[in-house]
Amino acid sequence: RPRILSGMQPTDDSLTLGNYIGALTQWVALQDSYDTLYMMADLHALTVNPEPARLRERTRRTLAQYLAGGVDPERSTLFVQSHVPEHAELAWILSCQTGFGEASRMTQFKDKAAKQGTDGTTVGLFTYPVLMAADILLYDAERVPVGEDQRQHLEITRDIAERLNTRFGHDTVVVPEPHIVKAVAKIYDLQEPTSKMSKSATGKGTIWLLDDPKVSAKRIKSAVTDDEAVVRYDPATKPGVSNLLTIFSALTGRTVADLETEYADKQYGHLKVDLAEAVVEFLTPFQERVDSYLSDPAELDRVLAAGAQKAREIASTTLARVYDRVGLLPAS
């Protein structure tokens, strides 16, 4: 079966509704037809310099949220990035095949570096996309389910992969395709519906999966809309209402067209009250499942141990192939 790899950074106690709708629901849907591997990108999370004990805790909580969202350890390989040392090893090889200018053009890097200044910006933040390329290429992944914000990182991954194949032989690595589902690939901030809903936003525009559902309901009800007072999906002119419709559709399985018809002659308030209820109905059992997974750390450890073993089998084979192709002398 064709292989899929993806991951999220355990940078916060909770994932966001954007992570869930844009990525996690796709991960779950792909489990039946692909050989799926999903990781906690803890090495990537080090770029924000987390407090050590919190990083460990967040890595577990991220796993619990993957499971609560429907990732099934019987069908998917779940592992922690740092448990597979080949990620860091391949990243070095790839960094020697990546242009400095090429890496400098990454918009996420430029945005983050602009906020942190030259001294606050680490080399790790700069080489972040190279590590991400290693994550993907190690598993010969054919598709990578992510949200729109990761598109450029997938492009550089493809460029690096093609370069390796040109230099070292066409089958050195598999060139991956992004799997980005347009309708849900970018969930927007509720207060600023032209910006991505993000973990780093500090305002009231983010829905956190592990926040009190009442807080989330309130945030939906105070979402920014527009003055037209017509419920209609039109992201260009009605970003706020369109975002609410996207979220409503993703959480209930109803189509946007169906929702437009139902709310055609109703006020925004109706839409918000009903969506707030759908959000609470989703979050409440989700959080119960997260709590139940977190209450059994031994079981989480078993999932991770099995996942790491499976991941390492694949990763070590790929790394040995790449080491050989680039001319490293084998240890005998």
**Residues tagged active-site:** 112, 196, 199
The DSSP bridge partners found for residue 37 are: 5, 77
DSSP-based three-state secondary structure for 79: strand
With binding defined as CB under 6 A, does residue 159 bind ligand TYM? Answer: no
Separation of alpha carbons 72 and 83, rounded Å = 20
Residue type, 194: T
Evaluate whether 173 touches 137 at the Cβ level (below 8 Å): yes
With binding defined as CB under 6 A, does residue 7 bind ligand TYM? Answer: yes
CB atoms closer than 10 angstroms to residue 280: 15
We find the least distance from the C-beta atom of residue 266 to ligand TYM, in angstroms, to be: 26
φ/ψ region of 84 (left if φ > 0, alpha if ψ in -120 to 50, else beta) reads: beta
Binding region for ligand TYM (CB under 6 A) out of 48-56, 72-80, 146-154, 275-283: 146-154
With binding defined as CB under 6 A, does residue 185 bind ligand TYM? Answer: yes
Binding region for ligand TYM (CB under 6 A) out of 131-139, 236-244, 270-278, 287-295: 131-139
Write the interaction track for ligand TYM spanning residues 85-124; mark x where CB under 6 A is met and - where it is not.
----------------------------------------
We find the least distance from the C-beta atom of residue 261 to ligand TYM, in angstroms, to be: 25
Buried/exposed code over 193-219 (b: 16+ C-beta within 10 A; e: otherwise):
beebbbbebeeebbbbbbbebeebbeb
Write the interaction track for ligand TYM spanning residues 39-78; mark x where CB under 6 A is met and - where it is not.
--x--x----------------------------------
Separation of alpha carbons 11 and 167, rounded Å = 36
Task: Output the DSSP codes for 44-62.
Answer: HHGGG---HHHHHHHHHHH
We find the least distance from the C-beta atom of residue 206 to ligand TYM, in angstroms, to be: 9
- Which of positions 187-206 make contact with ligand TYM (CB under 6 A)? 187, 196-198
97 is in an annotated binding site: no
Separation of alpha carbons 12 and 208, rounded Å = 10
Residue whose C-beta lies closest to ligand TYM: 22
Output the known binding site for L-tryptophan.
Answer: 135
Judged by the rule CB under 6 A, the positions of this chain that interact with ligand TYM are 5-9, 18-19, 22-23, 41, 44, 132, 135-136, 144, 146-147, 149-150, 185-187, 196-198
